[in-house]
C-alpha cells in the first residue's frame, strides 16, 4: 500500500509541484494550505509523514506541531524559507524530525522522506520483546515505548531511534555524522546541528538533570555516547 504524505504549505504552486513529483514517485499525497486545515486533514487521512512549512497564516507550522503532538505521531519534515539557525532549531525542538531550507531539490526531499519511512518500517518489524536497558531506562523496540523508572517518556520518532542507537552500544562513541546516518539513512554534511538539538530534547525527557547528564554523555570534539554503567536514581 502506498504511503500517505501530507504536504502543508500556503503556496499553491509549491503544493502542486511537490504533490505531482511525489505522486510520480509512488506516494499518495494530500495537501493543506495552512496549519488549521492541516489538523483537519491529518485527522481524516492519518498520514505516514508530514511535510510542513513553518511560516503560514491562520495557524503557523510551529503551532501545528504543538497541536498535532497531542493527537498524532507521524514524523514531520519542516520547510523554512528563513536562513537563521534559530528558526531551524526551534522546529526541531518542538518535535520535528528534520528540516529543509527553501529552495530545495525534489530529489533531496524524496530521499529524506524515504529514509524516514524506511527507518520506521524497519523498527515496526523489530522482534517482539527487544528491550534495551541502562540504569533506570528501558526502551522497547516492539512497542516503541521508553520508560524512565516508572514514568513513560514521550519521545519523537527521531529521539526514540537516537536513544535506541546509543543504547544498543553502551560506551561506544558515535560521531554526529554517524548518528545522522542512523536517523536519515544518509549523512548530510552541514546538518550535524540536527543531532545536537535532538540530543538536547532527549536529555530533557530522560535525564534527572539535563545540565548534568548521566545517560547521554557528550564526547567533546567527536559526538555522543551512552554511559556504560549509569547509576540508577535512588
26: Cβ contacts below 8 Å, ≥ 6 apart: 2
Give the single-character DSSP code of 71: T
Place of cell 506516494: 27
How many DSSP H helices and E strands does the chain contain?
8, 12
The phi and psi torsions of 178 (rounded to 5 degrees) equal -60, -45
| Residue 85 · residue 193 · CB < 8 Å | yes
Please check whether residues 118 and 165 belong to one and the same domain.
no
| Length in residues, the chain | 234
pLDDT tens, residue by residue, 157-170? 888 989 998 998 88
pTM of the predicted protein model: 0.61
Degrees, nearest 5: CA angle 81-85-88: 60
pLDDT tens, residue by residue, 25-80? 889 999 999 999 999 999 999 999 999 998 888 888 888 988 898 888 899 998 88
Give the single-character DSSP code of 25: T
Is 234 a domain residue? no
Strands 223-226 and 216-219: antiparallel
Please check whether residues 82 and 167 belong to one and the same domain.
no
pLDDT tens, residue by residue, 137-156? 999 988 888 999 889 999 88
Spell out a b/e string for 160-183, using b for 16 or more CB atoms within 10 Å of the CB, else e: bbbbbbbbeebeeebbbebbbbbb
Please check whether residues 136 and 95 belong to one and the same domain.
no
Place of cell 558515535: 174
Is 217 a domain residue? yes
Dist CA 181 CA 35 (whole Å): 30
Is 231 a domain residue? no
CATH of the domain at 220: 1.10.10.10
Amino acid at each position: 500500500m502506498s504511503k500517505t504524505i501530507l504536504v502543508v504549505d500556503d503556496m499553491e504552486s509549491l503544493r502542486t509541484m511537490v504533490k505531482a513529483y511525489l505522486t510520480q514517485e509512488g506516494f499518495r499525497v494530500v495537501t493543506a494550505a495552512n496549519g488549521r486545515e492541516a489538523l483537519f486533514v491529518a485527522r481524516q487521512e492519518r498520514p505516514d509523514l508530514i511535510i510542513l512549512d513553518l511560516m503560514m497564516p491562520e495557524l503557523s507550522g510551529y503551532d501545528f506541531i504543538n497541536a498535532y503532538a497531542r493527537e498524532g505521531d507521524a514524523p514531520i519534515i519542516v520547510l523554512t524559507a528563513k536562513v537563521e539557525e534559530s528558526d531551524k532549531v526551534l522546529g526541531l525542538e518542538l518535535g520535528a524530525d528534520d528540516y529543509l531550507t527553501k529552495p530545495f531539490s525534489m530529489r533531496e526531499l524524496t530521499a529524506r522522506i524515504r529514509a524516514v519511512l524506511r527507518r520506521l518500517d524497519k523498527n515496526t518489524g523489530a522482534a517482539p520483546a527487544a528491550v534495551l536497558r541502562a540504569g533506570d531506562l528501558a526502551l522497547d523496540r516492539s512497542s516503541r515505548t521508553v520508560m524512565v523508572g516508572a514514568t513513560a517518556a514521550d519521545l519523537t520518532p527521531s529521539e526514540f531511534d537516537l536513544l535506541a542507537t546509543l543504547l544498543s552500544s553502551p560506551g561506544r562513541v558515535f560521531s554526529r555524522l554517524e548518528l545522522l546516518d542512523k536517523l536519515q539513512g544518509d549523512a548530510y554534511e552541514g546538518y550535524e546541528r540536527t543531532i545536537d538539538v535532538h540530543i538536547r530534547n532527549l536529555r530533557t525527557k530522560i535525564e534527572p538533570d539535563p545540565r548534568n547528564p548521566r545517560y547521554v554523555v557528550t564526547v567533546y570534539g567527536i559526538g555522543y555516547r551512552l554511559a556504560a554503567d549509569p547509576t540508577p536514581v535512588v
